[in-house]
């Protein structure tokens, strides 16, 4: 996996760039931001933070 300067995950696959649709790339980055990326201060993902506040 490769990480961009903004902290978003860019998945690498065997297929060429032209076969990846922009929607899939955006979906992957949104998934990473909400469910995998942990905040350093709280050590939780944004999803976990929202679930605990409810």
11's CB contacts (< 8 A; 6+ apart) are: 1, 28
DSSP β-bridge partners for residue 3? 9
Q: Do residues 24 and 9 make contact, with C-beta atoms less than 8 angstroms apart? A: no
State the pLDDT confidence band at 32, using cuts at 50, 70 and 90.
very high
- Model pTM? 0.53
| Distance linking the first and last C-alpha atoms of the chain | 33
Q: Examine the pLDDT at 1 and tell me if it is beyond 60.
A: no
Q: What ranges do the domains of the chain cover?
A: 2-53
User: Does 16 or 39 have the greater pLDDT score?
Assistant: 39
3 DSSP assignment = E
Once rounded to an integer, what is the mean pLDDT over residues 24-37? 90
Rounded Cα gap, residues 50 and 54, in angstroms: 7
DSSP-derived letter for residue 41 is T
């Amino acid at each position: 996996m490769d990480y961009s300067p903004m902290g978003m995950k860019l998945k690498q696959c065997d297929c060429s760039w032209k076969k990846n649709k922009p929607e899939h790339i955006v979906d992957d980055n949104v998934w990473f931001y909400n469910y995998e990326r942990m905040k350093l201060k709280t050590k939780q993902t944004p999803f976990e933070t929202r679930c605990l506040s409810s």
